[in-house]
Amino acid sequence: MEFKEIEKRIQQFYPGAVAGDEAVEKYLSKLQKEHQVDLTKVLFATSICSDDANFSADFSKVLSRPFVMGGLGGLPYTGFTGMVAYAHHIPDGGDAFIFYGPHIGINEEGELGRMRRIGQSADSNSCGALMLALDRLITEEDEEVYVPMASEVDYQQILLERSLMPFKHDIVNSAFPKKAITDKTYDIIHKLLHKYVAMAKNEFHCQRIIFLGGVIINTDPNHQDYIDIRNFEVLNVSDIKAVKSVDMTHMKAFKEL
Ligand SMILES: [Zn+2]
């Protein structure tokens, strides 16, 4: 497929998507020029899916040592403890930089949720975990409603599905359910990271936390990945409202149990 053709197909679904290299260059130069960030003192973290397809879309080529928060679907499974550990590892006088988001493939035919992987002759699902979750959310009328049950042998997938369950109706009834489940996953990752950062606020001894979030779009091996950036923010740690864990004994309903 020609370069322009793949770009056209991607932009039908993601009009703002740009090539991965372009995004990396743009945001790193923004950080250096507009925010005077010293990249040698940045501790890079990722909350993206474990899928090997995402390697080229992140900033690892430029920034070393990512602290890996993500797992299947890109959710930050390392949670509050992981965020505290990350906060403690930032170099003195440095900044935090968290890159996050789900991913979705697009194949030669322009079909979303599918991709041709390196060394393979057939397409497969991308994100596989999200497409599996979608398959399980869609139940036929004569089928029992699927309920993701906690499982020690598959806890990331189950937690991913449980996080998506409240949005099942919107996802399944969307014109493009594969896109909808990916977009919803982006929102979930975004919210969780901001929540963990707020909970861990006092553990950050740096001044700034940089967030860069988007949907990674995987193409075939002959093209680079694209990214639809959804959020770029440079937060001053002092401006973040700390969140304490909720003590429900203060709730009226609790007192009236
Ligand atoms: Zn994935």
Q: DSSP 3-state assignment of 157?
A: helix
How far apart are the CA of 103 and the centre of ligand 1, in A? 6
Question: What whole-number distance in Å separates Cα of residue 251 and Cα of residue 84?
Answer: 28
**Dist. CA 22 → ligand 1 center (Å):** 22
DSSP string, 212-254: EEEEEEE--TTS--EEEEEEEEEEEGGGSPP-PPP-GGGSHHH
pLDDT grade, residue 252 (50/70/90)?
confident
Nearest to 217 by CA among 42, 49, 44, 63: 49
Residue 234 pLDDT > 80: yes
What is residue 32's predicted lDDT score, i.e. its pLDDT? 95
How far does residue 72's CA lie from ligand 1's centre (Å)? 6
- Between 191 and 51, whose confidence is greater? 191
pLDDT at 2: 57
Cα(94) to ligand 1 centroid in Å equals 30
How many angstroms does the Cα of residue 215 sit away from the middle of ligand 1?
11
Cα-to-centroid distance, 24 and ligand 1 (Å): 20
pLDDT of the residue at 255:
81
Higher-scoring residue by pLDDT: 30, 65: 30
Query: What's the rounded mean pLDDT across residues 121-140?
Result: 93
What's the CA-to-centroid distance between 200 and ligand 1, angstroms?
27
Alpha carbon of 128 to ligand 1 centroid (Å): 5
- Distance separating alpha carbons of residues 197 and 78, to the nearest angstrom: 12
What is the arithmetic mean of pLDDT over 98-120? 94
Give pLDDT, residue 242.
85
Q: How many angstroms separate the alpha carbon of residue 162 from the centre of ligand 1?
A: 16
What residue segments make up the domains of the chain, in order of their start?
3-127+176-255
* pTM summary value: 0.93
pLDDT at 256: 85
Which pLDDT tens digit goes with each residue over 33-88? 999 999 999 999 999 999 988 865 567 666 777 899 999 999 999 999 999 999 99
Which residues fall inside 5 Å of ion ligand 1, going by CB? Answer: 49, 51, 127, 129
Summarize the confidence of residues 191-214 as an average pLDDT: 96
Q: What is the DSSP string of 170-218?
A: HHHTSSSHHHHHHHHHHHHHHHHHHHHHHHTGGG--SSEEEEEEEEEEE
Average pLDDT rounded to a whole number, residues 196-217:
96
Q: What is the pLDDT of residue 46?
A: 93
The mean pLDDT of the chain is 92
Whether pLDDT at 195 is above 60: yes
Confidence class for position 222, pLDDT limits 50, 70, 90: confident
Ligand 1 centroid to residue 219 C-alpha, Å:
13
Distance 129 CA to ligand 1 centre (A): 5
Distance 218 CA to ligand 1 centre (A): 10
Q: 93-108 pLDDT, tens per residue?
A: 999 999 999 999 999 9
Percent of the chain with pLDDT over 70: 95
Q: Is the pLDDT at 141 greater than 90, yes or no? A: no
